[in-house]
């Protein structure tokens, strides 16, 4: 059994991954990670600093791994979740904690290609609503429901502060393979995704899907089939290595 820990995109909660649980094989346990300020953690304050949030997630993962024993795991993150997954993997490495078997990043520029200036004009409801519509991942029902829209905008504003606070530092490549996924119609460039190869010393692959930033909604099944295939190959390699 392998756990797939999934980190959400900006403005979202763990619920964005809930439906995936019925799309993965029985040996893969999908674990959506809830961030402070949303869902079951709505009574907590939003995080607004990248390093502080990475530290909190890392401590919670280490606590969860301790309770569950030495079961292997992988990290998956879409958009902001991809950057958080990278930050968590690096933090866990520095802490000497068990590392994920794999890092899966979706719709997320490589850490070295992040542009903090992208968030300088994303202030105020009007700008945030325009950005939500531009990315096309928000159901129309949210825009039509004042309460849901308020929650979404408050969450998005906090998450954009997290993204804007990220400052790239040249760290050693992770000894963890990285698989990146991108949408052909997204505004994230090929070079932004290929640069993920510099973040790993254990192998890099890139997969393209039709669609924009939220191509994962259109291609849930095929994306998860690819994730499972990568993890299965990694697990088989480890079994052979251990046998030798």
Q: Can you give the pLDDT at residue 68?
A: 55
The CATH number assigned to the domain holding 51 equals 3.40.50.1820
Give me the pLDDT at residue 209, please: 97
The residues facing 207 across adjacent strands are: 181
What is the CA 189 to chain-centroid distance, rounded? 18
Among candidate residues 96, 98, 72, the one with its CA nearest the CA of residue 239: 72
pLDDT at 128: 92
Identify the segments of the chain with pLDDT beneath 50: 239-244
Contact 90, 115 (CB under 8 A): no
Task: Provide the pLDDT for residue 117.
Answer: 76
- In the chain, the largest separation of any two C-alpha atoms, in whole Å, equals 60
Dihedrals φ, ψ of 78, to 5°? -105, 135
pLDDT value of position 123: 81
pLDDT (0 to 100) of residue 120? 77
Q: How many domains does the chain have?
A: 1
Residue identified by tokens 């429901």 is 145
Per-residue confidence (pLDDT) for residue 236, from 0 to 100: 63
Q: How confident is the model at residue 241, as a pLDDT? A: 38
What pLDDT is recorded for position 243?
37
Residue 193 has a pLDDT of 97
Beta strands in 53-108 (DSSP E): 73-78, 103-106
Q: What is the pLDDT of residue 240?
A: 35
Q: Which residues, 6 or more positions from 236, have their beta carbon under 8 angstroms from its beta carbon?
A: none
Range of the domain at 91: 2-243
């Amino acid at each position: 059994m392998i756990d797939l820990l999934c980190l959400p995109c900006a403005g979202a909660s763990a619920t964005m991954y809930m439906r995936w649980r019925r799309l993965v094989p029985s040996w893969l346990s999908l674990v959506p990670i809830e961030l402070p300020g949303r869902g079951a953690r709505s009574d907590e304050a939003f995080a607004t600093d990248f390093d502080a949030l990475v530290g909190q997630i890392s401590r919670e993962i280490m606590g969860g791994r301790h309770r569950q024993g030495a079961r292997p795991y992988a990290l998956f993150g879409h958009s902001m979740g991809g950057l958080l997954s990278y930050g968590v993997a690096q933090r866990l490495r520095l802490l000497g904690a068990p590392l994920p078997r794999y890092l899966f990043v979706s719709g997320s520029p490589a850490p070295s290609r992040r542009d903090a200036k992208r968030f300088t004009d994303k202030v105020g409801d009007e700008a945030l609503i325009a950005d939500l519509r531009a990315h096309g991942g928000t159901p129309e029902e949210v825009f039509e429901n004042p309460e849901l829209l308020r929650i979404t905008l408050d969450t998005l504003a906090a998450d954009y502060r997290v993204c804007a606070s990220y400052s790239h530092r040249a760290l050693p490549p992770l000894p963890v393979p990285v698989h990146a996924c991108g949408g052909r119609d997204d505004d994230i460039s090929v070079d932004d995704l290929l640069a993920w190869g510099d973040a790993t010393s254990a192998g890099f692959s890139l997969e393209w899907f039709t669609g924009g930033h939220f191509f994962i909604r259109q291609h849930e099944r095929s994306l998860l089939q690819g994730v499972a295939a990568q993890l299965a190959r990694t697990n088989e390699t480890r079994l052979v290595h251990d046998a030798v």
